[in-house]
């Protein structure tokens, strides 16, 4: 995947580009073999603080640093928290830190370690509470 001009291989700036879909990713729905269009699997499509619904009718979690790293119950499983390795595992397999499968609507991504590390850096540095998201992460 070609880097955007002036963006380091692993950086918050690259993570934001990945989140926004400016650096497209490849992905598919778990259990399917056909890839989805890059514009359909942008993180911002579902995890944007302004997003209120998606195909399932449930809001996607608004992911920020606190949501990722605080221990909390997710996906009906026991309390857990993410670190970079478990976050990357989730994106590549659809399995959270306590081995619970996330919603099938969440794509499985083909991403390298630099892409995943950059996305982790961006999201873990983000604080949606400060940016006016009155409801906070779900």
Question: Any idea which residue has 């993180």 for tokens?
Answer: 43
Does some domain include residue 68? yes
| Span 40-68, average pLDDT | 77
Q: Is the pLDDT of residue 55 over 60?
A: no
- Take residue 41 and report the two structure tokens written for it: 């699997």
pLDDT the model gives residue 132: 37
Does some domain include residue 35? yes
pLDDT the model gives residue 122: 96
Does some domain include residue 130? no
Quick one: CA dihedral 48, 5, 125, 119, positive or negative?
Answer: positive
Does some domain include residue 132? no
The tens digit of pLDDT for each residue in 127-137 reads 754 343 333 33
The tens digit of pLDDT for each residue in 83-107 reads 999 999 999 999 999 999 998 899 9
- 18: containing domain: 12-124
Does some domain include residue 133? no
Does some domain include residue 18? yes
| Span 58-87, average pLDDT | 89
Does some domain include residue 1? no
Does some domain include residue 72? yes
Domain count, the chain: 1
Task: Look at the pTM and tell me if it is higher than 0.85.
Answer: no
| Span 71-94, average pLDDT | 93
Split at pLDDT 50, 70, 90, the class of 52 is low
Rounded to whole angstroms, what are the CA distances from 31 to 5, 75, 101, 106? 35, 19, 12, 12
């Amino acid at each position: 995947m070609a880097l955007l001009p002036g963006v380091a291989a692993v950086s918050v700036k690259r993570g934001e580009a990945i989140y926004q879909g400016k650096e497209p990713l490849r992905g598919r729905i778990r259990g399917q073999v056909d890839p989805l269009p890059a514009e359909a699997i942008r993180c911002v499509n579902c995890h944007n603080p302004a997003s209120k619904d998606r195909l399932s009718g449930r809001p996607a979690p608004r992911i920020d640093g606190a949501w990722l790293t605080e221990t909390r119950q997710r996906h009906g499983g026991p309390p857990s928290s993410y670190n970079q390795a478990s976050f990357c595992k989730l994106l590549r397999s659809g399995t959270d830190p306590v081995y619970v499968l996330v919603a099938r609507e969440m794509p499985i991504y083909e991403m390298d370690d630099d892409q995943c590390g950059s996305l982790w850096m961006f999201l873990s540095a983000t604080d949606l509470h400060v940016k006016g998201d009155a409801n906070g992460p779900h």
